[in-house]
Amino acid sequence: MATMSDIAREAGVSLSTVSYALSGKRAISETTRERINAAITRLSYHPHAGARALASQRAGAIGLAVPLAEDVDAHVVMMFVRSLMRAAHQASHEILLIAGEDHATTARVLAEGKVDALVVMDVVEDDPRLPILAEAVRPVVLLGYPSEAHGILRVDFDFEQASALAVMELHRRGARRLVMIGSPSVTQTRHATYADRATRGFRTTCEQLGLQARHVVHDHEVDSTGQLVRAVLAQDRPDALVIHNESALPAIHRALTEEGISMPSDLQVVAIAPRETALLGTAEYTAVEIPVEQIGRAAVTTATDLIEGRSGVGDQLIAPSLIERDTTHPLRP
């Protein structure tokens, strides 16, 4: 393995010149730069990550505590992982995976400086990890929005406004009896912040608008979706549905079709889901889209801002917007 001194010798310059040539932190004459690059190619040199980390106090990686629990939809997790990888890559960082459930390791990895910052997914209300993470010497960013964050920065989609928006838009389109099909019960009981906040937005807004509201929990794996849908339709026949359960959406769609329901005439539906999930191929759902890419980018940006010690970073609640598609009535002026 060639080292930086090898390059220096080979190029006939000093060690620091090579270092600066690589970092670009000071001007290097065209000629020496070329000789250095030639030497680098000739010896196929690669800077040693460990040495750099020690000298610069930067690991060049961001930790990501991913939920490994089965109730969290793997597909959605992967979408977030992807978006974080992309964003981290742009910021010249790698993503180090940490099992979200293994909090001891999570804390250790951060404390040892194996990562420059930590992004925590799947935060729940009163998350036991927060008090400890609040003490960490390196930046932490929550991908979630607990009401009490212990001073840790939060980044998330505004799920509360998302379902509020869904309700308001359905109301404007004549809906009066709404049902929300929410996350699996495990997710609810854990009080994943996105589930809690989405439910709250639904309840509050229905109340404010004087709408009849019902919230049902759906365990895709366990319940027969057909039964659930029939039950939902049977009990004083709702005229609109808000669905916040990405893994169950296809099954719900099928069940509705089987019941002979046509949307939006019999029932208006708004999904709260990532774009890919809302587009079922067969049907295109009106949706409050979860902008996964944007959320991931925001989390990484916040993390790198904190790493670089930039000021003016704060919580970030990404505003929802509704994309009208086939499952709601058009709004006419």
Partner DNA sequence: ATGAAAGCGCTAACAG
Partner DNA sequence: CTGTTAGCGCTTTCAT
Q: x/- binding map, residues 236-265, to a copy of itself, per CB under 8 A?
A: ------------------x-----------
Q: Is residue 45 near DNA by the rule CB under 7 A?
A: yes
In the complex with a copy of itself, the residue whose CB is nearer, 197 or 297, is 297
User: What secondary structure, in 3-state letters, does 136-171 show?
Assistant: CCCCEEEEECCCCCCCCEEEEECHHHHHHHHHHHHH
Least CB distance from residue 319 to a copy of itself, whole Å? Answer: 27
310 binds DNA, rule: CB under 7 A:
no
CB of 84 to DNA, least distance (A): 24
In angstroms, rounded to a whole number, what is the distance separating the alpha carbons of residues 74 and 253?
20
Token pair 């106090």 is found at 57
Q: How far is CA 119 from CA 22, 81, 140, in A?
A: 29, 11, 6
Report the residue from 59, 123, 249, 271 that binds a copy of itself according to the rule CB under 8 A.
59
| 31 binding DNA? (CB under 7 A) | yes
Residue 14 interacting with DNA (CB under 7 A) = yes
Q: Write 12-15 long-range contacts (CB < 8 A, 24+).
A: none
Q: Which residue do the tokens 């939006």 mark?
A: 264
Restricting to residues 110-149, which ones interact with a copy of itself according to CB under 8 A?
111-114, 137
Cis peptide bond N-terminal to 238, omega within 30: no
Residue 74 sits in the site that holds a copy of itself (CB under 8 A): yes
Helix (H, G, I), strand (E, B) or coil at 92: coil
The residue from 34, 38, 42, 56 that contacts DNA (CB under 7 A) is 56
The whole-angstrom separation of Cα 108 and Cα 220 is 36
Q: Are 133 and 152 in contact (CB under 8 A)?
A: yes
Can you tell me the distance from the alpha carbon of 39 to that of 318, in angstroms, rounded to the nearest whole number? 48
51 near DNA (CB under 7 A): yes
Structure tokens at 252: 């719900």
Given DNA, a copy of itself, none, residue 221, with its beta carbon under 5 to 8 Å by kind, binds a copy of itself
Torsion-angle region of 44 (φ positive above 0: left; ψ -120 to 50: alpha; else: beta): left
Per rule CB under 8 A, is residue 33 in the interface with a copy of itself? no
Chain positions contacting DNA, by CB under 7 A: 1, 3-5, 12-17, 19-20, 22-23, 25-29, 31-33, 45-48, 51-52, 54-57
Chain positions contacting a copy of itself, by CB under 8 A: 1, 46-54, 57, 59-61, 64, 68, 74-75, 77-79, 81-82, 85-86, 89, 94-99, 102, 105, 108-109, 111-114, 137, 221-222, 224, 254, 281-282
